[in-house]
Amino acid sequence: MKNTFKYLEIYNYFKEKIEKNEFPENSKLPSIRFLAQKFNVNHLTILKVYNLLESDGYIIKKQGAGVFVKPKEYIFYNNPKDSSVETFNKGFRNINTHNNAIINFVSGSQDYDENIFIKLKEILLDIPSNIMNYANTQGDEELRKVIKLTLLQKKMDISIKNIQIINGAQQGLDLIMKSIISKTKNKIIVGSPTYHGALNIFKNNCKIFTVTMENDGFNMLELEELLQKEKISFIYTMMDFNCPTGISWSNEKKKQLIHLAQKYKTYILEDDFASDLYYKEKRRIFLKNLDKENKYVIYMKSYSKILAPGLRLAFMILPNELIEKIKTSKFLSDISSSSLDQYILKEFLKRKILEKNIKTLREKYEKRYLFLKEKLEKIKFLNLEYEIEGGFYIWVKLDERIDYNKFYIEAQNKGVYLLPAFSFYLDNKNRPYFRISFASTDIKDINLAFEKLNHII
């Protein structure tokens, strides 16, 4: 009992000092040996304290470097009293209950058109009697045929045997991690910054290398230097309106990327969540279009941002040599995706309901973007980092004279939720940037939010 009280006493000692900023953010904490001597306990007690502080989000362990205090706004946004799952659920309860006190620039979920629900009810009246059976592990054949037709519109002529239905992009990333096995730990390359959901999956399974994101894609010199030095399992990319910056790759850099994949014999994961959400009609070249031999690009398409995140479906186009590996991983994971969900998606595609919804979203998002851009131009210390051509993410830079830690906290206190830059970087350090998502925030709320932000500044 005495040891238990000592362990909690030491934990609370560190927790209090971190919260009071007596141990500043990013500062290095003492070694386990030093603390064991200071508190007159064994090494395992201190290790237990550090493990709890890490799981509660107060510290980060860096192999070979030591233990460091996480940035204070990380601690603020990830309340250590809650698990990560509960934090996620609380955020979406605020969205789903239309909490008028909160203006949410964090969520990527759209505010739904009621017509979608009306059409869903119509579809459910026509469901076949065998809908409750297991589906094919690779996915319903009829659905894959319909997807093949939509891909032809994007100049992708793909056999349905290369199409794998999955339960959202997160499962796709997980299946790839389980299927692309190297003799040592997988080494991958991501942009800096990049999608935080992917980073969280990769961190536990890979050695991650980063390449600077520019306004038209990766810094290609940095990328080739890494490919020369390291045996890379795959490169993770988002080609259009990416998260978090909203930028799109140039066609020239897409061609360079394919060339490097061929030269260094590595896969590229093309994560497509928003390419349909362009504001102006423009012929887009998908990376998969350039992979003529279907050997290097794994194309992954999610429906969460163009239809509904609650319909947990996406698909991958796989190179031939990965088909059986991914299918096996899928079977071991959950046997198959829901037959009912696949039927609903098939009907949304066949009846062109999805196509109409995408058109509505394009118009809605363009209006919101133009309004946001106008508002940003009127606030002296906030700057739009990149112009965007579609999607619903923008990357905003704070003037160096602004204390961004205080800014985020003040914004949240006033009910304006922003996502700070640290979430999107491997080192978890903050920068004077934040992401705004306007997927579920209408013009009225955008206007109110910027009145509040202007007041804070």
For residue 59, give the CATH number of its domain: 1.10.10.10
Of 72 and 200, the structure prediction assigns the larger pLDDT to: 200
What is the rounded CA–CA span in Å between residue 245 and residue 424? 10
Locate tokens 């107060």: which residue?
Answer: 58
Q: Beta-carbon neighbour count of residue 228 at 10 Å? A: 10
Q: What is the 8-class DSSP label of residue 14?
A: H
Dihedral over Cα of 276, 278, 283, 289: its sign: negative
Locate tokens 């080494």: which residue?
Answer: 187
Residues 372 and 290 in one domain: no
pTM (predicted TM-score): 0.81
What is the per-residue DSSP string for 317-378?
Answer: E--GGGHHHHHHHHHHHHSS--HHHHHHHHHHHHTTHHHHHHHHHHHHHHHHHHHHHHHHHT
Band of pLDDT at residue 3, cut at 50, 70 and 90: low
What is the rounded CA–CA span in Å between residue 40 and residue 199? 38
Can you read off the two tokens belonging to residue 31?
A: 């070694």
What is the rounded CA–CA span in Å between residue 341 and residue 168? 12
Q: What is the 8-class DSSP label of residue 278?
A: B
Q: Residue 72: pLDDT above 70?
A: no
What is the rounded CA–CA span in Å between residue 302 and residue 281? 21
φ and ψ at 112, to 5 degrees?
A: -80, 145
Q: Of 350, 374, 393, at which residue does a domain stop?
A: 350
- Rg of the chain over Cα atoms, rounded to whole angstroms, equals 23
Q: How many CA atoms lie within 13 A of 181 on its CB side?
A: 6
Query: Residue 116 falls within a domain, yes or no?
Result: no
Residues 182 and 309 in one domain: yes
Band of pLDDT at residue 78, cut at 50, 70 and 90: low
Domain count across the chain: 3
Q: What is the pLDDT of residue 324?
A: 96
Query: Structural domain of residue 178, as residue ranges?
Result: 131-350
Residues 174 and 270 in one domain: yes
3-state secondary structure of 414: coil
Q: What is the pLDDT of residue 24?
A: 78
Residues 434 and 363 in one domain: yes
Highest mean pLDDT among 181-195, 341-355, 412-426: 341-355
Q: What is the pLDDT of residue 409?
A: 86
Q: Residue 51: pLDDT above 50?
A: yes
Can you read off the two tokens belonging to residue 229?
A: 């030095």
Residues 450 and 373: beta-carbon distance below 8 Å: no
Q: Of 331, 350, 369, at which residue does a domain stop?
A: 350
3-state secondary structure of 405: helix
Query: Residue 120 falls within a domain, yes or no?
Result: no
Query: Residue 172 falls within a domain, yes or no?
Result: yes
What is the rounded CA–CA span in Å between residue 330 and residue 176? 10
Band of pLDDT at residue 130, cut at 50, 70 and 90: confident
Q: What is the 8-class DSSP label of residue 134?
A: P
Highest mean pLDDT among 134-138, 160-164, 309-313, 420-424: 160-164
Query: Residue 121 falls within a domain, yes or no?
Result: no
Query: Residue 64 falls within a domain, yes or no?
Result: yes
Band of pLDDT at residue 90, cut at 50, 70 and 90: very low
Query: Residue 122 falls within a domain, yes or no?
Result: no
What is the per-residue DSSP string for 163-186?
Answer: EEEESHHHHHHHHHHHHS--SSSE
What value does the mean pLDDT take over residues 115-139?
Answer: 90
Query: Residue 207 falls within a domain, yes or no?
Result: yes
Q: Residue 108: pLDDT above 80?
A: yes
Q: 437: part of which helix (H) or strand (E)?
A: strand 433-437
Band of pLDDT at residue 76, cut at 50, 70 and 90: low
Can you read off the two tokens belonging to residue 447?
A: 């206007």
What is the rounded CA–CA span in Å between residue 206 and residue 333? 20
Amino acid at 416: V
Locate tokens 């994949």: which residue?
Answer: 261
3-state secondary structure of 226: helix
Query: Residue 276 falls within a domain, yes or no?
Result: yes
